Structure 1
Amino acid sequence: MVRIADVAKMANVSTATVSRVISNAGTVKKETAEKVLEAIKELNYQPNMLARQLRRSETKTILVVVPDITNTFFSAVLRGIESVAIENGYQVLLGDARNDVESETSFLTILGQKKADGLILLTARTDQKILEDLSQDYPVVLACEYYEGSKLPTVSIDNVSSARKATEYLISLNHKRIGHISGPLNIVVGRDRCRGFHQAMAQHGLSVDPSLVQEGEFSFESGFNLMMKFLSLENPPTALFAGNDEMAMGAIKAAKSKGLRVPEDLSVVGFDDIQFASIFEPALTTVAQPTFDMGQKAMRLLLKLIKDEELEKDQFILPDQLIVRESCKELTIEE
């Protein structure tokens, strides 16, 4: 079946431009419109008029799907989304996927039922093709997570370089035996943060002990359990990079339960800079994401799609920052 994306590719324009030509919006240059119409004719493209008619009936509601509502990281992103939504007369409908692919995918039907004008996904576990097909008829934006190689409008950070930066900080403190508790490796951010850890170790000529790299679940419990596993080794790590703050806090709890001191006996770096990170004891060194800005940017992108406005670009990488607090200490090298 020929899709609007196929027409856009042949005419060398965006899908939004094709949409404006089809709806006769009158805001497209004559030469561009002619290229689009020629591509439509050559490909025999049949627009999904039912979907277009449904989209014209506005609900002034947008749907935001989060992977896990109990993860406080997403609250700041949601505040950013809501601030722009309210400013533009929209309300936010929240869906909690509970880290389940089927639950995440089930929320997509809300667009087809015309209960929302657009969708912002803060998770990317749904089959990529399903989401890309949906985006041909409805406004869809990804934030925080992403698909590798996708053209879906996306707002995120560079998780590989951020993880590399966190690991290099531990290396700069003379740590060589560094453990890593990753997030789920079926999620791109889990894989990318793990990749950044390995890159930093390799670039500094440090070997990675496979027993010191374990896959967690982005939960406090998995951080605790996997740190206990590390501590049972004959030669445990002197430092740990955890794929998120909750796992880092779980790891610190495990270390304390074994009578270890953080950072004197173990240095720990987390990721996300959730609100609790600064008041945890010790205050957690972590990578801060611009969560509020990510939410605002994602909502502004969605509004452009809802209004059929052309996007200047569709991939936005926002800056992160390593926040140094009290959970790391330089390792004294014995002569």
Structure 2
Amino acid sequence: MKREGAPRLIDVAEAAGVSLASASRAMSGGSGISPEVAAHVRGIAQQLGYEPNMHARGLAGGLVPTIGLVVHEIGDPYFSDIASGVIRSATLENRSVQIAQAERTPDSELAQVKSLMRQRIGSIIIAGSGYADSQREQRMSDALVDFTLAGGRVAVIGRHYLPVDAVLPDNHRAGVSVGRHLAELGHRRIGVVAGPLELNTVADRIAGLREGTDEPGVELTVVSQAFTREGGIAGARELLGRGLTAIVGLNDAMAIGILSELRQHGIRVPEEMSVVGFDDIAVAADVAPALTTARIPMFDMGQHAVSLILRPASDEPRTIATSHELIIRQSSGPPAPVAI
């Protein structure tokens, strides 16, 4: 299908049969690509009428070594742990970190990234889930390609579809572990309080839960709320009265909200309802009862992202996949026996 508007670098790469990174190097005169391939790419660009972003080119050589970190909410323990990892590694490299908070929308996130670019920040780390629909990432992809053409470095955390280095949390397998844990305890009717369903973190964790509970008679009921403690409370209210024996919050803040709502209704955990979360934030072990959760190494992910932007640029985006650990605490147990 023919694209509308001016051709982009990704269109050149597709027409030339090379990666986006190789097309970028060909157009910028970078190393790591043969003269023949570079000439081929530039010929295709000329045929398509591609015009490089000269504003981005003009930034080259004028970037400062500060690291810009874009998060969705710095008060969220998930993002604050990532930020701590970024700051620790940056400090060891004598780099400063500038944190920008974006609302959980593509427009807000892109605005924050462009603001960092205007300040000539040399490296940008974007933490936070992207979208299961890759088309929703296209404007961000275009902006980051321009930035890397200018000599900037980018790494993302928890994003699948951007053409840059990425740290990928073990969300799918963490979901498998949580689902399997509940299924093995004997739960057959399980509720899930999810964040926005269009986020790839949510899609990955739900897919993992479905795989982990892929047994005869197991039923998942999924509701979508905000990725917050208040979202957990609202989701629990929505799920009560449906005959469930366990509820999963897709992050620990939601799971803590679920615990709060169950307490308001006098529902004992885990005797009458098991509750499980994701991430293992610092307070997960201190709530009552202590929260069973899939531990995601947020601090380490921040450090991995810094290690990626400090490496020499590569023709192909690199990924660092992290692990997870199921931490079983007091909030999960077998379902109550059915009265006869």
Query: What range describes the TM-score normalised by the shorter chain of this pair?
Result: 0.7 to 0.9
The structural deviation recorded for 1:54 is 0.4
Which of 278, 281, 299 is equivalent to 1:274?
Answer: 281
Q: 1:250 to 1:58 in 2, by over 3 A?
A: same
Normalized against structure 2, the TM-score is what?
0.84
The structural deviation recorded for 1:6 is 4.9
Alignment correspondent of 1:179:
191
Q: 1:217 to 1:161 in 2, by over 3 A?
A: same
1:198 aligns to 2:207 (yes or no): no
Is the CA contact (8 Å cut-off) linking 1:55 and 1:117 kept in structure 2?
no
Is the CA contact (8 Å cut-off) linking 2:252 and 2:280 kept in structure 1?
yes
The structural deviation recorded for 1:40 is 0.9
The structural deviation recorded for 1:275 is 0.6
Which ranges of structure 2 fall in alignment gaps of 5 or more residues? Answer: 1-5, 148-152
Q: Distance in 2 between matches of 1:168 and 1:323?
A: 13
Alignment correspondent of 1:113:
118
Q: CA RMSD in A?
A: 2.7
Alignment partner of 1:63: what SS?
A: strand
The structural deviation recorded for 1:49 is 4.1
Q: Which amino acid aligns with 2:167?
A: V
Is the CA contact (8 Å cut-off) linking 2:272 and 2:336 kept in structure 1?
no
Matches within 5 A, 1:66-81: 66-81=71-86
Matches within 5 A, 1:44-59: 44=46, 46-59=51-64
Which of 126, 148, 156 is equivalent to 1:142?
Answer: 156
Q: Distance in 1 between matches of 2:105 and 2:10?
A: 29
Normalized against structure 1, the TM-score is what?
0.85
Q: Which amino acid aligns with 2:323?
A: P
Which of 32, 35, 48 is equivalent to 1:33?
Answer: 35
Is the CA contact (8 Å cut-off) linking 1:160 and 1:193 kept in structure 2?
yes
Q: Distance in 1 between matches of 2:156 and 2:118?
A: 20
What's the CA shift string for 1:80-117, capped at 9, x where partnerless?
21222223332111111132443222112224414311
After TM superposition, the runs of 4+ consecutive aligned structure 1 residues lying more than 6 A away are: none
The structural deviation recorded for 1:319 is 0.9
The structural deviation recorded for 1:10 is 6.2
Which ranges of structure 1 fall in alignment gaps of 5 or more residues? Answer: none
Alignment correspondent of 1:222:
231
Is the CA contact (8 Å cut-off) linking 1:245 and 1:274 kept in structure 2?
yes
Q: Which amino acid aligns with 1:217?
A: A
The structural deviation recorded for 1:77 is 0.9
1:239 aligns to 2:246 (yes or no): yes
Q: 1:63 to 1:285 in 2, by over 3 A?
A: same
The structural deviation recorded for 1:226 is 2.4
Q: Distance in 1 between matches of 2:23 and 2:106?
A: 31
Is the CA contact (8 Å cut-off) linking 2:165 and 2:308 kept in structure 1?
yes
The structural deviation recorded for 1:333 is 4.8
Q: 1:19 to 1:200 in 2, by over 3 A?
A: closer
Alignment correspondent of 2:307:
300
Is the CA contact (8 Å cut-off) linking 1:121 and 1:141 kept in structure 2?
yes
Q: Distance in 1 between matches of 2:263 and 2:176?
A: 26
Q: Distance in 2 between matches of 1:24 and 1:157?
A: 34
Q: Distance in 2 between matches of 1:224 and 1:47?
A: 49
For structure 1, which segment, 116-125 or 76-85, has the greater mean C-alpha deviation from structure 2 after superposition? 116-125
Is the CA contact (8 Å cut-off) linking 1:143 and 1:155 kept in structure 2?
yes
Alignment partner of 2:145: what SS?
A: coil
Alignment correspondent of 2:219:
208
Alignment partner of 2:331: what SS?
A: coil
The structural deviation recorded for 1:248 is 0.8
Which of 302, 314, 318 is equivalent to 2:318?
Answer: 314
Q: 1:20 to 1:224 in 2, by over 3 A?
A: closer
Alignment partner of 2:79: what SS?
A: helix
Q: Quick one: percent identity of the two aligned structures?
A: 30
Is the CA contact (8 Å cut-off) linking 2:26 and 2:42 kept in structure 1?
no
